[in-house]
Structure 1
Amino acid sequence: MFAEERLDEILNLLNTTGKIKVKDLSLQFNVSEDCIRKDLKSLENKGFLKRTYGGAVQVRESSNFHDMPLRQKTDISTKTIIAQKALDIIEDRETIFLDLSTINILIAKLLRKSNKNIIVVTNMLEIMNILSNQNNITLVATGGVLNKDLIGFTGASTIEFIKKYKFDKVFIGSCGIDVFDRSITTFDIDDGITKSAIIESSKKCFLVMENKKFHIDGNYKFAKVEDVDTIITDSSPSREILDILNDYNINVM
């Protein structure tokens, strides 16, 4: 096998497993560990991976925090696809939760145009405004301490309110998901612990997120991959990611 072919195979393995070890690669390709280390250094210099002690891991994008008004202006068509998929699985007489998420704002706008008779609980001010005059929707607001960046309620008093419910379906936004270390992330700690409480109070949890977020990380882990039942996204992720999610019995829509 030529060196370039070996580099390609190393990247394929990394994309499949999320991390690789020098010792394992040395045995697999029948070359010295020093040779593998040089390969990994070459790939790191090209920005394809990050070397660690004894191996390497994927390079993942770290998403920057943007306030809610700015986030509402990005990826609108993609988010609308996700919102429509979510709307299609909401059934009459259900009690659902829409948390702090720009996709959930779009779900609320679609619900406003629908004739679904449901109870919507939310901690987001804009969703409250969107659904406030709907006769077919019973709107419940959590209250709590207002997070001005996210334009919604988070923290201890909000969580105490949430704990009193058992939601049929909850729709949770996130900054990113890493299936290889099983983490789902956000930026804000109070938002994160509030999301955790919503998940704990759910019968079925739906993560609503763009496909690109399979490769992006926030800085606060609020849940594990196996904590959600279904991921609703705009397009199917890679076969490797789908296989891992399937191992945890997680559906992808």
Structure 2
Amino acid sequence: MFADERKKIMLARLASHSRLTVGEICRELDASESTVRRDLQDLEELGLLKRTHGGAVALEIASFEPSLLEKDVAFSEEKHTIAELACSLIQPEETILLDAGTTTLEVARILPNYRLTVVTNSLPIAQELSSREAVQLLLVGGEYRPRTGACVGLVAVQTLQKLRVDRVFLGTNAVDVNFGVSTPNAGECATKTAMVDTAREVVLVADHSKLDHVSMFQVCSLARLAVFVTDRALPLVYQEECRVHQIQVVVPEPIDS
């Protein structure tokens, strides 16, 4: 049996039982203990499980993670503003990657009528774009998370690792000047990190409410960003960090009083 097949079986077992032991997997897969432990180490490095003495457990993070509906209604005007600014960066014939999230969903809703290739791991975004004739749509599969509408995990990561895109529009739960971009879910983190790695340019789309927050899993540092699109001027400490790392900050034009 190939390593990828073993890992898929391990993740399926964790999804249904929340924990597994090395002995159980060795017997089920007819694999050596060293092979199983190596597979578990690989999956832990991808952020898909937590190894324990004698096995592994599923990662259920206690950090608060709002649902897709809760996020969609929060700061909706700000998200629309950010989406308009983000869409101004898109050029015809580009290949773009839209991360799952409500801000990126708003980007999809008002996407320019260009010929584009759009890659996404978001079922709501795929549904939004499914009737757009100018858009060539590639849906990244994986373990579906109803809470966020995202496909995540090993299959998603492996698919993304085989792609190259012009730019990724990355959403987030939290942004911190020191810890960077982070998320409360391990599977989401591994998938977002793979998105960052596959893109020529990383565009963070996040409203001001996400600033000065840290979730458990780091996706990337601010230094990895090319563009930061937000709904108001950044605090000075963020402006300085963006200046040091040559990150383009895109905010709305101030309204004259």
Q: Fold match, TM over 0.5?
A: yes
Q: What secondary structure sits across from 2:126 in the alignment?
A: helix
Task: Give 1 or 2 for the bigger CA radius of gyration.
Answer: 1
Q: What secondary structure sits across from 1:129 in the alignment?
A: helix
Counterpart of 1:93? Answer: 93
Query: Once the two structures are superposed, what CA deviation does each residue of 1:26-79 show, in whole Å capped at 9, x if it has no partner?
Result: xxxxxxxxxxxxxxxxxxxxxxxxxxxxxxxxxxxxx83111111111110000
8 Å Cα contact 1:182-1:226 kept in structure 2: no
Counterpart of 1:127? Answer: 125
Counterpart of 1:45? Answer: none
Counterpart of 1:219? Answer: 216
RMSD: 1.5
Query: Once the two structures are superposed, what CA deviation does each residue of 1:145-194 show, in whole Å capped at 9, x if it has no partner?
Result: 11122112001101111111111010001111111x24211111100110
Q: What secondary structure sits across from 2:131 in the alignment?
A: coil
Q: What secondary structure sits across from 1:140 in the alignment?
A: strand
2:150 aligned with 1:159: no
Q: Where do 4+ consecutive residues of structure 1 move more than 2 Å?
A: none
Paired with 2:101 and 2:146, the residues of 1 have a C-alpha distance of 14
Counterpart of 2:227? Answer: 230
Query: Once the two structures are superposed, what CA deviation does each residue of 1:183-220 show, in whole Å capped at 9, x if it has no partner?
Result: 21111110011000000000000010012322222221
Q: Percent same amino acid at aligned positions?
A: 24
Map 1:98-109 onto structure 2 (within 5 A). 98-109=98-109
Paired with 2:116 and 2:212, the residues of 1 have a C-alpha distance of 34
Counterpart of 2:144? Answer: 146
Counterpart of 1:171? Answer: 169
Paired with 1:150 and 1:218, the residues of 2 have a C-alpha distance of 16
Q: How many residues align?
A: 189
TM-score where L is the length of structure 1: 0.72
TM-score where L is the length of structure 2: 0.71
Query: Once the two structures are superposed, what CA deviation does each residue of 1:8-40 show, in whole Å capped at 9, x if it has no partner?
Result: xxxxxxxxxxxxxxxxxxxxxxxxxxxxxxxxx
Gapped regions of structure 1 (runs ≥ 5): 1-62
Gapped regions of structure 2 (runs ≥ 5): 1-62, 251-257
Deviation at 1:116, TM superposition (A): 1.1
Counterpart of 1:242? Answer: 239
Determine which of 131, 135, 138 is the counterpart of 1:137. 135
